[in-house]
Amino acid sequence: MSLLTALTKEVLTAILKSIDEGIHVVNMEGKTIFYNEVAARHDGMKVEEVLGKHILEAFPSLTAESSTLLKVIQTGKPIYNQTQVYLNLHGVRIDTINTTLPIFLNNEIIGAVEIAKDYSRMKLLAERLLELQKGLKQNKSKNTLKQVNYTLSDLKTVNADFIRMKEEAKRMAKSDSPILVYGESGTGKELFVQGIHHESLRSNGPFIAQNCAAIPESLLESILFGTAKGSYTGAVERKGLFELADGGTLFLDELHTMPIELQAKLLRVIEDGIVRRVGGTENTSVNVRVIAAMNVHPSEALQEQKLRYDLYYRLNVFTFPLLPLRDRKEDIIMLTDLFIKEFNRKLGKQIQGINQTLELFFLDYKWPGNVRELKHTLEYMVHVCDSGKLSWHDLPVILKQQSGNWNQDNRGNEGLSLRRNVEELEKKLVTEAMKQAGGNINQAARLLEIPRQTLQYKLKKLT
């Protein structure tokens, strides 16, 4: 052995001994040639009990099929982030998340290395979280087991496409098929999903909502599917959200943040209605309707590999895209009116709508936060307004800036341009008619004395 090789080996050994992950290396015969203290601690073994022994001799509960190290030697293919549950020589159950890689020398496989993270601590955290949630539930605070506060009729709209979608949702609510709802933040997904549950034959059953982004990836599995007693240190028998939602609806928000491997498991449960707790052996049938939501477009989530194609195809049958507010101008007008009335009531005010300049800005503004942003903006404005109508002065500072730019862009070079002025006047008249008609296109068209189709075209142009 050259000096360099010997040195490299020393350095490598020192590193592998000191890192926080368990490292286990086997040769082509399946015999352990390196095994660090951390791996020994995970496994509840002594290094000497494993070193030099064949994997199946040191870990009798494993088989040639279930051992990832042996599999990688056979196939030469890496296995990433696999959870592993096994009994060590002392009969203690072990939980790890493993990445197992083949080792090649001159293009020839000479062994495999497994890097293992202790999973038990994470699971213990999952337990604590579930305990906490249970405690909260008993306190009747805001938690995953939600009260359904909204019906589809709370989702206000005068947009023809949205109205059609609500009608379809009402029909689909009666079926048990899974549903996917997507739309930008603040477009009403939560309202829509609660509305579907309310319309469904399960409305008396539980409605459980889980935001997949709110839980560390490694805990989500235990939260969704539950845990079996003894599956790791301190684990108790516990139902997951699927079992808790039995007879009702499980709402999985921000589905695209769910780890892709877990999505495969979710698909299986949706297909056969059977769950198995993490570390458990028993199968339980559940009758749960899954509704998923995302604030990104499915095509984007698919492309970025945040959503599995097979899961998407399963959910795709009933997919509801909720339109951004800027694409339904008539709703901007109707909702502005509605929210002003609501906040008048709440704040004891008597605001009579908004002035025309502000209205034009509202119609032109992109509303990235959609209805939520409109609602909060109006709450603020009604609060600060001390005249009869909301005007530019009442806008929150951030929108005032936007409105300033908008005014310059839209009015700066207005001058004598007949086209621009006519367009502007038309915009004003259309907006006013829509307002007087309470967002009803037929009625607004009558007021303007133009055909409905022409008005629809003009409204589209305003978008």
Ligand X SMILES: Nc1ncnc2c1ncn2[C@@H]1O[C@H](COP(=O)(O)OP(=O)(O)OP(=O)(O)O)[C@@H](O)[C@H]1O
Whether the Cβ atoms of residue 127 and residue 176 lie closer than 8 Å to each other: no
Output the residue with the shortest Cβ distance to Mg ion: 190
Identified binder of ligand X from the candidate list 42, 189, 277, 427, rule CB under 6 A: 189
The conformation of residue 31, written as its DSSP 8-state character, comes to B
**Does 155 sit near ligand X (CB under 6 A)?**
yes
Position 59, amino acid: F
Q: From the CB of residue 199, how many other CB atoms can be counted at a distance below 10 Å? A: 19
Identified binder of ligand X from the candidate list 22, 102, 178, 186, rule CB under 6 A: 186
Give me the least distance between CB of 255 and ligand X, in Å please. Answer: 12
326 interface partner picked from Mg ion, ligand X, none, CB below 5 to 8 A per type: none
Single out the segment in contact with ligand X by CB under 6 A; choices: 125-133, 153-161, 349-357, 409-417: 153-161
372 interface partner picked from Mg ion, ligand X, none, CB below 5 to 8 A per type: ligand X
Give me the least distance between CB of 277 and ligand X, in Å please. Answer: 29
Between 265 and 372, whose beta carbon lies closer to ligand X?
372
Listed residue (87, 106, 105, 104) closest to 95, CA to CA: 87
The conformation of residue 322, written as its DSSP 8-state character, comes to P
The residue behind tokens 């999903």 is: 193
Identified binder of ligand X from the candidate list 49, 190, 199, 359, rule CB under 6 A: 190
Strand arrangement of the beta sheet that strand 319-321 belongs to? 207-211, 249-253, 289-294, 179-182, 319-321
Give me the least distance between CB of 108 and ligand X, in Å please. Answer: 52
Count of residues near Mg ion by CB under 5 A: 2
Count of residues near ligand X by CB under 6 A: 15
Vertex 291 angle, CA 294 and 143, to 5°: 85
| Lookup: tokens for 412 | 């700066």
Q: How far is CA 435 from CA 333, 341, 376, in A?
A: 6, 14, 20
Q: From the CB of residue 216, how many other CB atoms can be counted at a distance below 10 Å? A: 11
- Give the Cα separation of 462 and 446 in Å (integer): 19
Give me the least distance between CB of 155 and ligand X, in Å please. Answer: 4
| Lookup: tokens for 55 | 């994997």
Single out the segment in contact with Mg ion by CB under 5 A; choices: 188-196, 329-337, 348-356, 374-382: 188-196
**Does 295 sit near ligand X (CB under 6 A)?**
yes
**Does 372 sit near ligand X (CB under 6 A)?**
yes
Output the residue with the shortest Cβ distance to ligand X: 188
Identified binder of ligand X from the candidate list 22, 111, 183, 298, rule CB under 6 A: 183
Whether the Cβ atoms of residue 239 and residue 231 lie closer than 8 Å to each other: no
Kindly write down the DSSP assignment for every residue of 155-176, as one continuous string. Answer: S----HHHHHHHHHHHHHTTS-
**Does 377 sit near ligand X (CB under 6 A)?**
no
- Give the Cα separation of 324 and 375 in Å (integer): 14
191 interface partner picked from Mg ion, ligand X, none, CB below 5 to 8 A per type: ligand X
- Give the Cα separation of 22 and 279 in Å (integer): 20
Give me the least distance between CB of 396 and ligand X, in Å please. Answer: 17
**Does 202 sit near ligand X (CB under 6 A)?**
no
Identified binder of Mg ion from the candidate list 184, 190, 331, 359, rule CB under 5 A: 190
Q: From the CB of residue 252, how many other CB atoms can be counted at a distance below 10 Å? A: 25
Between 189 and 427, whose beta carbon lies closer to ligand X?
189
- Give the Cα separation of 176 and 153 in Å (integer): 21
The conformation of residue 390, written as its DSSP 8-state character, comes to B
Single out the segment in contact with ligand X by CB under 6 A; choices: 137-145, 342-350, 369-377, 381-389: 369-377
Between 189 and 435, whose beta carbon lies closer to Mg ion?
189
Identified binder of ligand X from the candidate list 96, 157, 159, 227, rule CB under 6 A: 157
**Does 185 sit near ligand X (CB under 6 A)?**
yes
Q: Which residues bind Mg ion (CB under 5 A)?
A: 189-190
Residues that bind ligand X (CB under 6 A): 155-157, 183, 185-191, 295, 371-372, 375
